[in-house]
Amino acid sequence: METPFAITLDAGTSRANHTGSWRIERPLYVDRLPPCNNACPAGEDIQGWLYEAESGNYEAAWRKLVEVNPLPAVMGRICFHPCETACNRVQVDDAVGINAVERFLGDLAIEHGWTLPATALDTGKRILVVGAGPAGLSATYHLRRLGHQVRLVDSAEQLGGMMRYGIPAYRLPRATLDAEIARIVDVGVEVVVGHAVRDIEAERRAGKFDAVFLAVGAQIGKRVDIPAGDSSKVIDAVSFLHQVAQGDPPLLGRRVAVYGGGDTALDAARTARRLGATDAVIIYRRNRERMPAHGEELEQALGEGVTMRWLSTVDRFEDGRLVLETMRLGDQGSPEPTGEYEELDADALLLALGQDTDLSLLEGAHDVVVNDGVVEVQPTMMTGEDGVFAGGDAVPADRTATVAVGHGKRAARGIDAYVMGTALESAPKHELATFDTLNTWYYTDAPRTQRPELERIRRQTNFEEVVGGLTEENALFEARRCLSCGNCFECDNCYGVCPDNAVIKLGAGQRYQFDFDFCKGCGICVKECPCGAITMVPERI
């Protein structure tokens, strides 16, 4: 007896539907976008390299990681891991320790001397990269992978930008930074240090460069007009950290006040403690809930003896005394003066009130648009000036190293399209793998592994690294906590639970397919897929 209708298959053939006319939906394997990937400013395929790591294939995991980010050991220390905030596992127990596993892989690569992938054939195109911070290094790496010649120029005597001159060694050991920078340079980069580019257009013409990437960091500390009896005791925190990184710290005295509420303020206060300050106090106009600094950095600072003066602003500084005005938060959360004052002993005042970028080198590039101290760019990262691209701190975005790494990769793709005369197309994004698409009853509680920390008493007198790395056992465990949100990892659940044997295994790494001659559309496979990689779609008649 014939069935009431036939199902038209993708191959263009037609077969009788043995499961009858009652099926109104059919299962479909899908790939969804993991929330960690979606939240990563660098654009890493986090789930992809975690999958390799959880199998113990550490070099394969590292190689998948450095397809996007050439600085995993660095980012595994200084990235504030928004991927973990987005992680679906937060709603089960704790987020996967993605950042810790990234650091483990980065450190392992340095230990074993793994090298970056070979570059493409030489295109004959020459690119100038100005600034050797995370954006410039990332762009340099990706441009070299595409086969372009790169000259990397920086005004400092060593590469690294704010990673070297703005982030203290207790957060980022210089040996780690040097190792990952050297690996990038080794892919064939022309490096010029101690050279400040004064005119981007003149530099471009002189070097006959086909394009330029501007990656200058925000290394100029903002200042405010604070009446002070001795202005030499008022130092911007960026300059202070730069001097410390160069091994020439200024004399601050025993009582140091830091004015500001960001991560730079915390770094300055923690550094002052290590240089001998018995009192390091941060003065901030708002309360703790509105402080822009990251919570884990604040907790470490408090644990090292840094103190806080919330809802306070500096009125003046003279004769070793700071006069502070008490503030209150208005209805919109903005600080408002109260007219109430108090005094605080201080030998020095460090200003951590934000940073600016020196864009004077763009004065000859008349079509570059600068608004509020940053450069306007297109989605390709090209400015209004033909062939001049910009990224990192120089453009409107969050000023983090991870964002800068992502800008470098995006700019490299934009530059490649520009110099090669091709169109740059963006790949479409998959649907986000939200928590409600998962079936988490298959996952048992597995508490997050905490990274070890240097004893607090030892932190106050040296610049040893504070946060340690994971052991191989810990890293393997942490990688295996990944839920593989939205993407099949071949667990065989659908194959095992199908009552009609309608799931066909295609072999390792090939996943599965449905045999719709036998599938009756019951949806059990969807309900039992732990990672939400199957959905039901209307039947095609």
pLDDT digits (tens, 9 = 90+) for 210-237: 999 999 988 888 878 888 767 889 999 9
Tell me the pLDDT band of 442, cut-offs 50, 70 and 90.
confident
Tell me the pLDDT band of 11, cut-offs 50, 70 and 90.
very low
Q: What's the per-residue H, E or C state across 214-264?
A: ECCCCCEECCCCCCECCHHHEEEHHHHHHHHHCCCCCCCCCEEEEECCCHH
pLDDT surpassing 70 at residue 17: no
Q: What pLDDT does 541 receive?
A: 58
Q: What pLDDT does 480 receive?
A: 95
Distance separating alpha carbons of residues 330 and 287, to the nearest angstrom:
12
| Rounded average pLDDT over 382-409 | 96
Q: What pLDDT does 8 receive?
A: 37
Q: In the beta sheet, which residues pair with residue 371?
A: 374
Distance separating alpha carbons of residues 292 and 42, to the nearest angstrom:
21
pLDDT surpassing 80 at residue 10: no
- How many Cβ atoms are within 10 Å of 190's Cβ, its own excluded? 15
Residues 421-432 have pLDDT tens digits of 998 888 888 999
Q: In the beta sheet, which residues pair with residue 376?
A: none
pLDDT surpassing 70 at residue 522: yes
Distances (CA, A) of 33 to 152, 409, 434, 437: 35, 20, 9, 12
| Rounded average pLDDT over 2-24 | 46
According to DSSP, the β-strands at 279-283 and 255-259 are parallel
Distance separating alpha carbons of residues 269 and 258, to the nearest angstrom:
6
Same fold, 126-219+357-420 and 254-348: yes
6-31+488-538 belongs to CATH 3.30.70.20:
yes
Q: What pLDDT does 441 receive?
A: 79
Q: What pLDDT does 478 receive?
A: 96
Mean pLDDT of the chain: 92
Residues 32-86 have pLDDT tens digits of 999 999 999 999 999 999 999 999 999 999 999 999 999 999 999 999 999 999 9
**DSSP summary character for residue 349:** E
The class of domain 254-348 in CATH terms is alpha beta
Q: What pLDDT does 91 receive?
A: 92
What 3-state class would DSSP assign to 390?
strand
Instruction: Give Cα 359 distance to the centre of its chain.
Output: 24
Percent of the chain with pLDDT over 70: 96
Q: What pLDDT does 143 receive?
A: 98
CATH topology of domain 39-114+439-479: Fumarate Reductase Iron-sulfur Protein; Chain B, domain 2 (1.10.1060)
The class of domain 126-219+357-420 in CATH terms is alpha beta
Q: What pLDDT does 18 receive?
A: 59
pLDDT surpassing 50 at residue 13: no
pTM, rounded to two decimals: 0.92
| Rounded average pLDDT over 515-535 | 93
Tell me the pLDDT band of 540, cut-offs 50, 70 and 90.
confident
Tell me the pLDDT band of 311, cut-offs 50, 70 and 90.
very high
Task: Please check whether residue 341 is in contact with residue 311, taking contact to mean a CB–CB distance below 8 angstroms.
Answer: no
> Between residues 48 and 19, which one has the greater pLDDT?
48
Task: Please check whether residue 261 is in contact with residue 353, taking contact to mean a CB–CB distance below 8 angstroms.
Answer: no
Residues 236-284 have pLDDT tens digits of 999 999 999 999 999 999 999 999 999 999 999 999 999 999 999 999 9
Distance separating alpha carbons of residues 50 and 478, to the nearest angstrom:
9
Q: What pLDDT does 445 receive?
A: 82
Element at 409 (helix H, strand E) = helix 401-420
pLDDT surpassing 50 at residue 7: no
Distance separating alpha carbons of residues 15 and 17, to the nearest angstrom:
6
pLDDT surpassing 80 at residue 15: no
Q: What pLDDT does 14 receive?
A: 39
Distance separating alpha carbons of residues 289 and 274, to the nearest angstrom:
27
Distance separating alpha carbons of residues 56 and 229, to the nearest angstrom:
62
According to DSSP, the β-strands at 6-8 and 255-259 are unpaired
The domain segmentation of the chain, as residue ranges, is 6-31+488-538, 39-114+439-479, 126-219+357-420, 254-348
Which long-range contacts link 384-387 to residues 24+ away (Cβ below 8 Å)?
387/204, 387/210, 387/211, 387/212, 387/418
